[in-house]
A and B are shown apart, each in its own frame.
Chain A
Amino acid sequence: MRRALAIARAEFLIVRRNRWVFMATLIMVLFALALTFAGSAPTGALGVDMLTVSVASMTTLSVYLAPLLALMMAFDSIAGEAERGGLALILSYPVSRGEMLMGKFIAHLAALAFAMTVGFGAAGAVAAFAGGAAPESMMALLRLILTSILLGAVFLALGYMISALSGSSTGAAGMSAGLWLIFVVLYDLGLLGALVLDNGGAFTQTAFPWVMAANPADAFRLWNIAASDAVALTSGMTGAATALPAWAAPLSLCLWPVLAFLLARLAFRRVEA
């Protein structure tokens, strides 16, 4: 663990120096603020405070942005290092591949967590200041930040896996874009298509909510929506959320980072330094 922390320390310096932390935070703040102001219109009509509406909008934002930022940070970390010849040197030291991966993961997750906390926190503060915030909506905001970090963790680890499998930095970039598209866009489209074909049959009744919760991006959405009636109301996505037991989406989102990290570790084993 001491060696993993040594790697984490150096990696964090790197993401800070090459302005990754700054850029990610800036993107989060700008998008979160923009959504908060643009989304404040329906407040009166729905009878909820501004922070709740803001959290609902930011949930939708985070589904897209958290995986994207995480993949952008992760895709180069193994393939790039192998290409530059640094991997052989690091691995000639008594540090295991698992420790090396864990070190990168800690540093990248810390950077991502910082960006999420500052971005959503700033937007939340503005919304609370302008339109008031009930304790329940503060909870929703906190939940949003924590689940966004979890979602980021999933895609960081998936990014490492791709980086280990692809063999080249450019290949990893392409595969990352594909992975993002599949998890965030195509999966839902596929489900929608299945629903239409099934036309309210057995799939829609029983399997659909579970299949949805199996995708970390959807699990993230379900968790945030199911946990707060007010957020569900403003996002209009109650159906799937209520069809599942309350633990399903949180379990999925908590298991995914572990599973993805194990997959990345397995893929990394095959990389020849």
Chain B
Amino acid sequence: MTDAVLSIAAATKERGSLRTLNAVSLDLRAGERVALLGHNGAGKTTLMKLILGLTPLSAGRITVDGAAPGSAYARAATAYLPEAVAFHKSLTGREQLALFARLAGVSTREVGPLLDRVGLADAADRRIGTWSKGMRQRLGLAQVLLGRPRVALLDEPTSGLDPISRHELYAIIDELAAEGAAVLIASHALTEVEARTDRIAILSRGDLVANDTLANLSRRAGLPTKLRIRALPGAADAIAGQTGGARVNGASVEILCAPERKMEELRRLSHLGDLVADIEMTPPGLEDLYRHYAEGGRT
């Protein structure tokens, strides 16, 4: 891919005899949001630190908008939100963000509106030591937005946030991408990432085991769709008998079917007529897919 803002080619990182990242290749285009999933220790943070140039590559090549990681240009083009973000307790939010603005070479006039945008306008002049975890996380996000980055690396951005703040955070990430930043989001919060990203990359023990859209990943995995049929009182056994499904908790029957056989199955169920009270259909979620790819090895 030539139009990639962030290009990672066969990136490998060894620490002593331990290989924490094994020939990972991943490209991000401008405006693309990619979720980077993986267990603890799968190599997500290592990959981010390689992109930032905080730790050197053992082999392979990474370019940030054409520049080498850690070069002044690459650092100016990249924004980073560390996993456990810590600021100086005795600085106020405004002072801390002003420091980042000066380091980024951005006018400190941007600080006020940015604090406003992440909902910290009221707390801006209080010391960060008095803030909640969620507020510190918002400040971390505010510094990501400084100076329109070309690449944004967010390590577990939703950790410690309540559901409403999380929603706002994803809205901000959408804006960031809309302004043309390539956004890489490392996360454990699988179900949230599902609706909010264009592509999903899964790291497992240093290997990139998946890198595609959710739809393609599900198709390739061929995970079954789950149909749960709630029977009218006393009809559960009859339904189980006719469909070959499994009885669950008394009044329900569960059937697993391949995605392409879903409609066929539904037509068959509709013939059961008034034995059926309700049908609930669950396509394979990210959780199932993640387990399939992360634990099932390479595809």
Residue among A10, A95, A273 with the highest chain B CB neighbour number at 10 A: A10
Q: Of A6, A88, A95, which contacts B82 at CB under 8 A?
A: A88
Task: Give the residues in chain B near A93, CB-CB below 8 Å.
Answer: 75, 100, 103-104
Task: Give the residues in chain A near B86, CB-CB below 8 Å.
Answer: 84-86
Given contacts A92-B78, A273-B54, contact A6 B49 (CB under 8 A): no
- Is there an interface contact between B80 and A272, defined as CB atoms closer than 8 Å? no
List A74-114 residues whose CB lies under 8 Å from chain B: 84-86, 88-95
- Is there an interface contact between B76 and A94, defined as CB atoms closer than 8 Å? yes
List A1-36 residues whose CB lies under 8 Å from chain B: 2-3, 6-7, 9-10, 13-14, 17-18
**B87 touches A (CB below 8 Å):** yes
Q: Of B83, B87, B99, B140, which contacts A9 at CB under 8 A?
A: B99
Stretch at the interface among B33-41, B90-98, B217-225: B90-98
Q: Of A10, A84, A90, A91, which contacts B91 at CB under 8 A?
A: A10
> In this complex, what residue of A is CB-closest to B74?
A94
- Is there an interface contact between B91 and A95, defined as CB atoms closer than 8 Å? no
Q: Of A9, A86, A91, A92, which contacts B88 at CB under 8 A?
A: A86
Binary contact readout B106-137 vs A (1 if CB under 8 angstroms, 0 otherwise):
00000000000000000000010000000000
- Tell me how far the C-beta of B34 lies from the nearest C-beta in chain A, rounded to whole angstroms: 19
> In this complex, what residue of B is CB-closest to A83?
B86
- Is there an interface contact between A7 and B54, defined as CB atoms closer than 8 Å? no
> In this complex, what residue of B is CB-closest to A19?
B90
Task: Give the residues in chain B near A91, CB-CB below 8 Å.
Answer: 52, 54
- Is there an interface contact between B99 and A10, defined as CB atoms closer than 8 Å? yes
Task: Give the residues in chain A near B100, CB-CB below 8 Å.
Answer: 93
- Is there an interface contact between B52 and A6, defined as CB atoms closer than 8 Å? no
> In this complex, what residue of B is CB-closest to A6?
B102
- Is there an interface contact between B54 and A92, defined as CB atoms closer than 8 Å? yes
Task: Give the residues in chain B near A18, CB-CB below 8 Å.
Answer: 90
Task: Give the residues in chain B near A9, CB-CB below 8 Å.
Answer: 99, 102
**B191 touches A (CB below 8 Å):** no
**B248 touches A (CB below 8 Å):** no
- Is there an interface contact between B91 and A2, defined as CB atoms closer than 8 Å? no
Q: In the complex the two chains form, what is the Cα distance from A111 to B102 in whole Å? A: 22
- For this complex, into which size category does the number of interface residues on chain A fall? 20 to 34
- Tell me how far the C-beta of B92 lies from the nearest C-beta in chain A, rounded to whole angstroms: 9
- Tell me how far the C-beta of A80 lies from the nearest C-beta in chain B, rounded to whole angstroms: 10
Task: Give the residues in chain B near A13, CB-CB below 8 Å.
Answer: 90-91, 95
Binary contact readout A107-124 vs B (1 if CB under 8 angstroms, 0 otherwise):
000000000000000000
- Tell me how far the C-beta of B111 lies from the nearest C-beta in chain A, rounded to whole angstroms: 13
List B63-92 residues whose CB lies under 8 Å from chain A: 72, 75-76, 78-80, 82-88, 90-91
Task: Give the residues in chain B near A85, CB-CB below 8 Å.
Answer: 82-86
Given contacts A13-B91, A92-B54, A92-B75, contact A3 B84 (CB under 8 A): no
- Tell me how far the C-beta of A11 lies from the nearest C-beta in chain B, rounded to whole angstroms: 9
Q: In the complex the two chains form, what is the Cα distance from A18 to B91 in whole Å? A: 10
- Is there an interface contact between A14 and B88, defined as CB atoms closer than 8 Å? yes
Q: Which residues of A are in contact with B by a Cβ distance under 8 Å?
A: 2-3, 6-7, 9-10, 13-14, 17-18, 84-86, 88-95, 272-273
Q: Which residues of B are in contact with A by a Cβ distance under 8 Å?
A: 49, 52, 54-55, 72, 75-76, 78-80, 82-88, 90-91, 95-96, 99-100, 102-105, 127, 140, 143
Listed from nearest, the 3 A-B pairs whose CB atoms lie closest are A6-B102, A84-B86, A17-B90
Contacts A9-B102, A84-B86, A86-B87 supplied; 4 other A-B pairs, CB < 8 Å:
A86-B88, A88-B82, A89-B140, A92-B75
